[in-house]
Amino acid sequence: MPNYHVVLGGAAVVFGIAGQALYLKDILQDSIKPHPFSWLGWALLDVVIFSAQITSGGGPGSWVTGVSALVNTIIALLSLKRGEKRITWSDWTCFIGAILGIVLWKLTADPIGAVIVVSAVNFVAFIPTFRKAYLRPNEESLNIFSFDIVKFILGIAALGVLSPTTALFPATAMVSNVMFISMVILRRRKLSTVAR
């Protein structure tokens, strides 16, 4: 009988890939315009978190973060060509803040310190996408963010060692996804009501 960590880790990867595949399809069909700064930041952050989870005994629960690092890098590269082109000073500020957070992580020898920094940076990296989606909610797909909520729940359940170092990032990422989805749904409703 397979270890439940392996089964849940595998299920988390499947949910992650499903959401990412739908998002990639939407990008290639030009139906959405992802913000490159958020996706570049998320790709870098996933590499950091994956490293911290692996070194802290994350086991199968860390697989999903490794896959996300790879696919988010592809999304980031695609968004440079097909994504949001209206970059604001606040977008630059958030992107630089995310990079500085990663530098701070490199200076932090403690894995939990790194995860706290990177979890905070994840929120900062979300700001450009949040701003863009607030202004133009129909240029963003909720598929990947919805699948990610399930992915993070399964990933946390699959962790070999459940600790703040291994679970904090997926938990805070899940919260940011719920906030983002809620905002986009409310904005779409408001704009459709105004358009009538």
pLDDT 10s digits, 94-139: 778 777 777 776 777 677 777 788 788 888 888 999 999 999 999 9
pLDDT digits (tens, 9 = 90+) for 173-182: 899 999 999 9
Domain that residue 34 falls in: 4-155+162-195
Given a contact cutoff of 8 angstroms between Cβ atoms, the answer to whether 155 and 46 are in contact is no
Q: What span, in angstroms and rounded, lies between the C-alpha atoms of 33 and 126?
A: 14
pLDDT of residue 1: 43
Q: What is the mean pLDDT of residues 36-43?
A: 88
pLDDT of residue 78: 94
User: What is residue 110's DSSP assignment?
Assistant: S
Neighbours of 47 (CB within 10 A): 19
Identify the H or E element spanning 26. Answer: helix 4-28
Q: Mean pLDDT: which of 8-12, 65-69, 71-75 is highest? A: 71-75
Residue 72 has which token pair? 């988010």
**Average pLDDT of the chain, as a whole number:** 85
Q: What is the mean pLDDT of residues 135-158?
A: 89
pLDDT of residue 194: 77
Q: What is the pTM of this model?
A: 0.82
pLDDT of residue 192: 86
Closest CA to 49 of 64, 34, 38: 64
pLDDT at 52 over 90: no
Q: How many domains does the chain have?
A: 1
